[in-house]
């Protein structure tokens, strides 16, 4: 399986989530990325699963999923549209 992102570390400090992705640390305000995470307890936030491909993170205790590309603002163009644009 091809790994999309390498997620090395996730930490929560006050109202911030600090995550190391592909060797670089990123900081996100929790209330800006997820209402469920913002309302979650410390225990609920710290219980997460990283997808084997590195595509996303799942918090089973609050049934929340975040895609890494979404967090980083990476947008994908459907292949049909991409083919039309490059023609």
Task: Kindly state the tokens that stand for 42.
Answer: 């410390």
C-alpha distance from residue 67 to each of 4, 77, 80 (Å): 11, 16, 23
Q: Using 50, 70 and 90 to split pLDDT, how confident is the model at 2?
A: confident
pLDDT for residue 77 is more than 80:
no
The per-residue pLDDT for range 12-56, each reduced to its tens digit, is 999 999 999 999 999 999 999 999 999 999 999 999 999 988 889
Q: Is the Cβ–Cβ distance between 41 and 24 less than 8 Å?
A: no
Cα distance between residue 14 and residue 26, in whole Å: 15
pLDDT for residue 72 is more than 70:
yes
| Average per-residue pLDDT for the chain | 88
C-alpha distance from residue 12 to each of 3, 20, 61, 83, 84 (Å): 24, 12, 16, 41, 43
């Amino acid at each position: 399986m091809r790994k999309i992102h390498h997620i090395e570390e996730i930490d929560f400090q006050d109202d911030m989530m600090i995550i190391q992705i592909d060797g670089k640390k990123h900081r996100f305000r929790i209330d800006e990325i997820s209402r469920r995470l913002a309302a979650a307890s410390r225990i609920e936030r710290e219980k997460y699963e990283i997808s084997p491909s590195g595509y996303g993170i799942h918090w089973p205790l609050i049934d929340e999923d975040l895609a890494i590309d979404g967090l980083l603002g990476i947008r994908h163009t459907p292949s049909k549209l991409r083919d039309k644009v490059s023609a």
